[in-house]
Structure 1
Amino acid sequence: MTAQASPAYLQEMIALAKHAMENAYAPYSKFHVGCCLRSATGHFYTGANVENAAYPSSQCAEASALGNLITAGDRVITDVVVLSGEVEHCPPCGNCRQKLSEFITPDTKIHFCTPTHWLETHSVYSLLPYMFKHHLR
């Protein structure tokens, strides 16, 4: 676990992720998730999970936020907040950890938060120690 990020931008990220979570489309699982990514340029990008009756066609909140980051032309993620109102800890799933790994640095922080406060911080490397991109280096 790493040190807590700056409370100023972390609280803003939590609020943005909560707003995204409130817009999630989860009629089947009722599990609403919001994500906020902070880029190296200081911009914030949000996303919500979008379910589909054909579950494999669903999209996680992290993937939605990542699409917004890429569309805006950013490429480096410094901080990630993922939260849900249904559970206290809502870490990125393995698939999203792998997706995020393309756009992180060793200093990127993954913050576990509730809709109201910070819980703890980890690195993607600690959550996905053998990510697929290692063979590309």
Structure 2
Amino acid sequence: MRTCLIVDESSVIRKVASRILFQLGFEAQSAANATEALVLLSAGHPFDLVVTASALPDMAADEFVRTVRARAGGRQTVILGSLVEANLGQMTRLKRAGANGFVYKPFDRASLSGWVDAYFERAAA
């Protein structure tokens, strides 16, 4: 099973994303901030997918993306920035830091799976 890490200070966003990603074949873990996420990343193997809020309470999101990319296996991780609205400056910083793409909040199964499907093949049911 593929693994995913959802990083967002909103417990509702983390719960919704976890449920949707589970339905898409991912084992999801979540963190409320970058510090918690880095602890999870340090504890085990790299995640296949990281969905991170574009605004984290304890670290700039682009710095978080660079940190994930610098870790062992971080180059293979698909990283999606989660934004409330299209913010060209934030999107540019995230892309330059190594984010693969973006998903807009609030998201539903169709929108989130559309982004995930661009990077992962679904397992046959």
Per the shorter chain, which TM-score range?
0.3 to 0.5
Which structure has the greater CA radius of gyration?
A: 1
User: What TM-score results when the alignment is normalised by the length of structure 1?
Assistant: 0.36
